[in-house]
Each structure stands twice: as C-alpha cells, then as structure tokens.
Amino acid sequence: MSLLEVSDLDVHYRRRRGRLHALRNVSLRLDPGETIGVIGETGSGKSTLARAVLGLVPPSSGRIVIDGEQVSSYGKRQWQAFRRRGILQYVFQDPLRSLDPDLTIRESLAEPLRIQGRTGENVRKYLDRVRLSEDLLDRLPAELSGGQRQRVAVARALVSEPKLILLDEPVSALDAANRVKVLELLKELRDAGTALLFISHDLGSVAGIADRIAVLYQGELVEDGPTRQVITEPRHAYTKLLIDSVPTLRKAVTA
C-alpha cells in the first residue's frame, strides 16, 4: 500500500475574474520509505501541492490518501485528529521564521508531542540526531545560526516519529556548509526508512537524494520517473530545458 496517494488532484483559487488553476489533474504516489523530489519553478503549483497534502488548502476535486486515510474528504475535526497521529510532518524553507522566537528550543521540540497530550520530555535525543549540542535546549531561536535553526526544525519534524516528511526548499536559505549538513541529515532519514517529499525549484539540489523525480509545470505534472531516468532521458520538453539550465561543474569544464 502506498503511504501517500494523490489522484486527479485539482486545486483552483477563485479570482475576481474567473478561476486560477493552481493544480490540474495531478496524480502522485509515494511508497513507505521512498524519497521523491518534486521540482517546480515560480507558478508551478508546488507550494499548493504541499499545502493541499497538509490539509491547509482544500482540493477542488480529486483524492488524497495518506496512510490509508482519505484525508481529502476530512473536515476540520477529522484533520486535527489525523494530524495528532503524527504521521505527517513539515519542514519550512525559512529557518528564521519557522521557530517561535518566544519559545526555547526545548519547548519548540516538545510542542508536537504536547499537542498529542504526551509529556514531551524526551526531546533531547532528537537534537543528537540532527547533531546539535544539548546545550542548545534552553536557548532561544535568536541565539542560533540559520543552519542550526533549520536543523532544529528538522528535529521538530522528527519527534513524532513520522512516516512522511514534507520539505519545502529546506536548504535554499542556507550557506554551503549548512546545506551539506542538512542534506546529509535528510539522506540518513531516508536510509532509516522515513519517506520524504522534497519540494524544490532546483533540480540540482534534489537529484542527489531523491529516488524519483516529479516535475511540475504550470500546475501539471509533466514528468515522473526514477531520478536517473528523468535526468538522462527526460521525456517532456520542459524537463529537458530544466536539465540544460542547471549549472554544473562538469558542464563548466567541458564547455
């Protein structure tokens, strides 16, 4: 059984004149432990896809099934109950704003557990897992660097032991050293069996850890296949353009 199954998903926003189709007929499957990279540029609908899977945007039509539950038909209460199972977590792009500036790292980490009614005492080990010192537990986000904060955000996503983590441009705002650290971490998670849905505008940064690549273009899924195949034999013209556009060191030297 798939962990995440999106079928024929349509999302449109009402505008003053007519409708804006953010997503059109998108179907996507993700098996347990699998990592998929969803690539899309500005206006591709990638953020809408993430928000729809998270239940923050209602689908106009189509189905979303997560871990056997058809969440696309859920109301507010059912969503809340589903979310408290802790199956699904999210890591945001902007590490500066994704932690409450008034809460200590300990409190931020414990929050998902406390929402579930658990004590949230045992968050220490998750800092270890993202290779941060336990000394940071009683600090405030403002005392941490951007890279540390993003690793705390990853740790917060881990405390409920989710089966699926959505990542929205998790390394775009970081410098090279921290990008490598966070990517390393994500690779470990993948190897430990957590499914990742990695959303990015940059094919280059996703290719290294994704089993499969899906390409969104103007709200439609134009390509979906194993990473190697998508990169070496892209079928859609847009994917080809995308691949030609990514700056690589190799191209630079052979050009």
**100 touches other proteins by CB under 8 A:** yes
Length of the chain, in residues: 255
Name the residue nearer to other proteins (CB basis): 27 or 202.
Answer: 202
Instruction: State the minimum distance, in angstroms, from the CB of residue 224 to other proteins.
Output: 17
* Nearest distance from C-beta of residue 171 to other proteins, angstroms: 9
Which of residues 192 and 241 has its CB atom nearest to other proteins in the complex?
241
Site size toward other proteins, by CB under 8 A: 71
Residue 150 belongs to what H/E stretch?
A: helix 146-158
Residues 155-214 that bind other proteins (CB under 8 A): 156, 160, 175-177, 179-180, 183-184, 187, 201-205, 207-209
**Considering only CA atoms, which of 111, 50, 58 is closest in space to residue 84?**
111
Rounded to whole angstroms, the maximal C-alpha distance in the chain is 59
> How far, in Å, are 30, 43, 145, 226, 239 from residue 213 at the CA level?
11, 18, 31, 6, 10
Return the number of the residue (141 or 219) whose C-beta is nearest other proteins. Answer: 141
Site for other proteins in 30-89 (CB under 8 A): 41-42, 54, 56, 80-86, 88-89
Provide the β-strand partners of residue 31: none
Residue whose CB is less far from other proteins, 61 or 228 = 228
* CB-nearer residue toward other proteins: 85 or 129: 85
Binding mask 207-246 for other proteins (x = CB under 8 A): xxx-----------------xx--xx--------xx-xxx
Calculated CA dihedral for residues 64, 70, 76, 77, nearest 10 degrees: -150
Question: Which residues pair with residue 5 across a beta bridge?
Answer: 29, 65
Q: Taking contact as CB under 8 A, which single stretch among the options 4-12, 23-31, 124-132, 134-142 is the one that binds other proteins?
A: 134-142
Q: How many CB atoms lie within 10 A of CB 238?
A: 18
Q: Which of 118, 154, 148, 120 is nearest to 135 (CA)?
A: 148
